[in-house]
Structure 1
Amino acid sequence: MAAYLHPGVYVEELPGPQLISPVSTSNTAFVGLAEKAPAYNKAFQITSWNQYVDTFGSFMWGCQMPFAAYNFFLQGGSICYIVAAEPGGAAASIAAGALTVTAASLGAWGNKLSVEIANYPSMPDDPPTQVNPVFALNVYYTMPTVGEALTLCDQLVEHYAAANKLTKIQISGATAYLVEAFPGFSANDLRKTGAAPCNMELRVNSASLFVRVAVATAPDPKRPDNMAPTSLSRGAGDADSTPIDLAKALQALDTVAEISLLVAPETVSTSDLGAQRQKVLEVVGYCERRPHRDLFYIADSPFTATIDEIVAFKTGRASSSGKVPEGNALNSSYGALYYPWISFLNPSNSRNVPIPLSGSMAGTYAATDQAVGPWQVAAGINYGALRNATGVTRILTDTDQDVLNPNGIDAIRQFPTYGIVAYGGRTLTSDPSLIYISVRRLMIQIEMSLYRSLQWVVFEPNTQRLWGTVTRDITEFLTQMWQAGALFGAAAKEAFQVQCDAANNPPALQMQGQLVVDIKIRPVFPAEFVIIRIQQATLGSS
Structure 2
Amino acid sequence: MPDYRSPGVYVEEVRFRAPPIEGVSTCTAAFIGPARTGPCHAPGAEPPSLITSFNAFERLHGGLADLSAGEGESAINHIAHAAYAFFQQGGARLYVVRLASPGMAVASVGAVDDGDTGLGFVARFPGKAGNGQVTLREHASPAAANELDAAPPGSVVRATLQGRQALLVNTDGAWRLADTAIDRADVRAGAPRLITVSAHAIDGDGRHQVHERMGLHPAHPRWIGGVMAARPLVRDDRLYQPYAIHIGTNLSAAGLLAGLFEHARTNAAGEPETLWTLDGGQDGGTPTPPMYESAITSLAGLDDVSILAAPGSSDRVDEEQAAEVARALIAHAAAPRAWCIAVLDTPPGQTPTEARTWRTRFDSTHAALYFPWVEVAHPLANPERGDIPATLTLPPSGFVCGIYARNDMERGVHHAPANEVVTGALRFERQVSKVEQELLNPAGVNCLRSFERRGHRVWGARLVSSDPGWQYVNQRRYFNYLEASLSRGTQWVAFEPQGERLWANVRESLTNFLHNEWRAGGLRGSTQDQAFFVRCDRSTMTQDDIDHGRLVCLIGLAMIQPAEFTIFRLGQRTAGASA
- Give the TM-score taking structure 2 as reference length: 0.64
Which among 455, 462, 466 is matched to residue 491 of structure 2? 455
Find the aligned partners of 1:197 and 1:497 in 2 and give their Cα distance.
61
Give the match for residue 368 of structure 2.
336
Structure 1 segment 131-280 matched on structure 2, within 5 A: 195-197=200-202, 202=206, 238=285, 241=286, 243=288, 245-280=291-326
Find the aligned partners of 1:236 and 1:503 in 2 and give their Cα distance.
61
Structure 1 segment 20-419 matched on structure 2, within 5 A: 20-41=21-42, 42-61=47-66, 62=75, 63-89=77-103, 195-197=200-202, 202=206, 238=285, 241=286, 243=288, 245-288=291-334, 290-315=335-360, 329-349=361-381, 351-380=390-419, 384-419=420-455
| CA deviation after TM superposition for structure 1 residue 242, in Å | 5.2
Q: Is the 8 A contact 2:332 2:338 kept in 1?
A: no
| CA deviation after TM superposition for structure 1 residue 14, in Å | 3.4
For structure 2, list consecutive stretches of 5 or more residues without a partner in the other structure: 67-74, 108-125, 129-197, 208-262, 267-279, 383-389
Give the match for residue 436 of structure 1.
472
Find the aligned partners of 1:302 and 1:432 in 2 and give their Cα distance.
26
**Which secondary structure does the structure 2 equivalent of 1:434 belong to?**
coil
Shift of the 389–219 alpha-carbon distance from structure 1 to 2, 3 Å rule, reads: farther
**Which secondary structure does the structure 2 equivalent of 1:30 belong to?**
strand
| CA deviation after TM superposition for structure 1 residue 11, in Å | 7.9
Q: Is the 8 A contact 2:62 2:205 kept in 1?
A: no
| CA deviation after TM superposition for structure 1 residue 298, in Å | 0.6
* 1:228-265 per-position Cα deviation (integer Å, ceiling 9, x unaligned): xxxxx998965xx4557111111110111111010111
| CA deviation after TM superposition for structure 1 residue 195, in Å | 3.9
* 1:381-435 per-position Cα deviation (integer Å, ceiling 9, x unaligned): xxx1101211110000001101110110000000011111000000110111110
Structure with greater Cα Rg: 2
1:17 aligns with 2:18: yes
Q: Is the 8 A contact 1:344 1:354 kept in 2?
A: yes
* 1:264-298 per-position Cα deviation (integer Å, ceiling 9, x unaligned): 1132231222321222112112222x231411011
| CA deviation after TM superposition for structure 1 residue 502, in Å | 0.9
Q: 1:58 corresponds to which letter in structure 2?
A: G
| CA deviation after TM superposition for structure 1 residue 5, in Å | 6.0
Find the aligned partners of 2:574 and 2:294 in 1 and give their Cα distance.
70
**Which secondary structure does the structure 2 equivalent of 1:89 belong to?**
coil
Q: Is the 8 A contact 1:338 1:357 kept in 2?
A: yes
| CA deviation after TM superposition for structure 1 residue 10, in Å | 6.1
* 1:143-181 per-position Cα deviation (integer Å, ceiling 9, x unaligned): xxxxxxxxxxxxxxxxxxxxxxxxxxxxxxxxxxxxxxx
**Which secondary structure does the structure 1 equivalent of 2:422 belong to?**
coil
Find the aligned partners of 1:398 and 1:423 in 2 and give their Cα distance.
11
Find the aligned partners of 1:38 and 1:488 in 2 and give their Cα distance.
46
Shift of the 218–348 alpha-carbon distance from structure 1 to 2, 3 Å rule, reads: farther
Structure 1 segment 479-490 matched on structure 2, within 5 A: 479-490=515-526
**Which secondary structure does the structure 1 equivalent of 2:339 belong to?**
coil
| CA deviation after TM superposition for structure 1 residue 507, in Å | 1.4
| CA deviation after TM superposition for structure 1 residue 466, in Å | 0.6
Find the aligned partners of 1:422 and 1:201 in 2 and give their Cα distance.
33
Shift of the 85–502 alpha-carbon distance from structure 1 to 2, 3 Å rule, reads: same
Q: Is the 8 A contact 1:75 1:386 kept in 2?
A: yes
Find the aligned partners of 2:103 and 2:264 in 1 and give their Cα distance.
31
| CA deviation after TM superposition for structure 1 residue 197, in Å | 4.2
Find the aligned partners of 2:352 and 2:15 in 1 and give their Cα distance.
63
Give the match for residue 509 of structure 1.
545
Shift of the 478–533 alpha-carbon distance from structure 1 to 2, 3 Å rule, reads: same
Find the aligned partners of 1:472 and 1:39 in 2 and give their Cα distance.
46
**Which secondary structure does the structure 1 equivalent of 2:293 belong to?**
helix
Find the aligned partners of 2:487 and 2:510 in 1 and give their Cα distance.
11
Give the match for residue 170 of structure 1.
none
Find the aligned partners of 2:397 and 2:310 in 1 and give their Cα distance.
8
Query: C-alpha root-mean-square deviation of aligned residues, in Å?
Result: 3.1
Shift of the 431–58 alpha-carbon distance from structure 1 to 2, 3 Å rule, reads: same
Find the aligned partners of 1:106 and 1:403 in 2 and give their Cα distance.
43
Shift of the 90–12 alpha-carbon distance from structure 1 to 2, 3 Å rule, reads: closer
Find the aligned partners of 1:273 and 1:308 in 2 and give their Cα distance.
15
Q: 2:307 corresponds to which letter in structure 1?
A: L
Shift of the 218–336 alpha-carbon distance from structure 1 to 2, 3 Å rule, reads: farther
| CA deviation after TM superposition for structure 1 residue 504, in Å | 1.3
Q: Is the 8 A contact 1:25 1:374 kept in 2?
A: yes
Q: Is the 8 A contact 1:106 1:242 kept in 2?
A: no
Give the match for residue 138 of structure 1.
none
| CA deviation after TM superposition for structure 1 residue 12, in Å | 4.7
Range that drifts further, 303-312 or 343-352: 343-352
Q: 2:83 corresponds to which letter in structure 1?
A: A
Shift of the 488–201 alpha-carbon distance from structure 1 to 2, 3 Å rule, reads: closer
| CA deviation after TM superposition for structure 1 residue 345, in Å | 2.4
Q: 1:57 corresponds to which letter in structure 2?
A: G
Range that drifts further, 244-253 or 460-469: 244-253
- Give the TM-score taking structure 1 as reference length: 0.69
* 1:16-69 per-position Cα deviation (integer Å, ceiling 9, x unaligned): 321011111111111111111134344111111101100110113323111111
Q: Is the 8 A contact 1:260 1:294 kept in 2?
A: yes
Find the aligned partners of 1:201 and 1:80 in 2 and give their Cα distance.
21
Find the aligned partners of 2:48 and 2:95 in 1 and give their Cα distance.
6
**Which secondary structure does the structure 2 equivalent of 1:460 belong to?**
coil
Find the aligned partners of 1:257 and 1:17 in 2 and give their Cα distance.
24
**Which secondary structure does the structure 2 equivalent of 1:498 belong to?**
strand
Shift of the 218–538 alpha-carbon distance from structure 1 to 2, 3 Å rule, reads: farther
* 1:351-379 per-position Cα deviation (integer Å, ceiling 9, x unaligned): 32110011111110101101121110111
Shift of the 429–72 alpha-carbon distance from structure 1 to 2, 3 Å rule, reads: same
| CA deviation after TM superposition for structure 1 residue 90, in Å | 5.1
Range that drifts further, 343-352 or 356-365: 343-352
* 1:293-334 per-position Cα deviation (integer Å, ceiling 9, x unaligned): 41101111100211111111111xxxxxxxxxxxxx211011
**Which secondary structure does the structure 2 equivalent of 1:275 belong to?**
helix
Find the aligned partners of 2:430 and 2:318 in 1 and give their Cα distance.
20
Q: Is the 8 A contact 1:396 1:413 kept in 2?
A: yes
Find the aligned partners of 2:100 and 2:56 in 1 and give their Cα distance.
20
Find the aligned partners of 1:528 and 1:394 in 2 and give their Cα distance.
22
For structure 1, list consecutive stretches of 5 or more residues without a partner in the other structure: 94-104, 108-192, 204-216, 221-232, 316-328
Q: 2:57 corresponds to which letter in structure 1?
A: Y
Shift of the 30–503 alpha-carbon distance from structure 1 to 2, 3 Å rule, reads: same
Shift of the 57–11 alpha-carbon distance from structure 1 to 2, 3 Å rule, reads: same
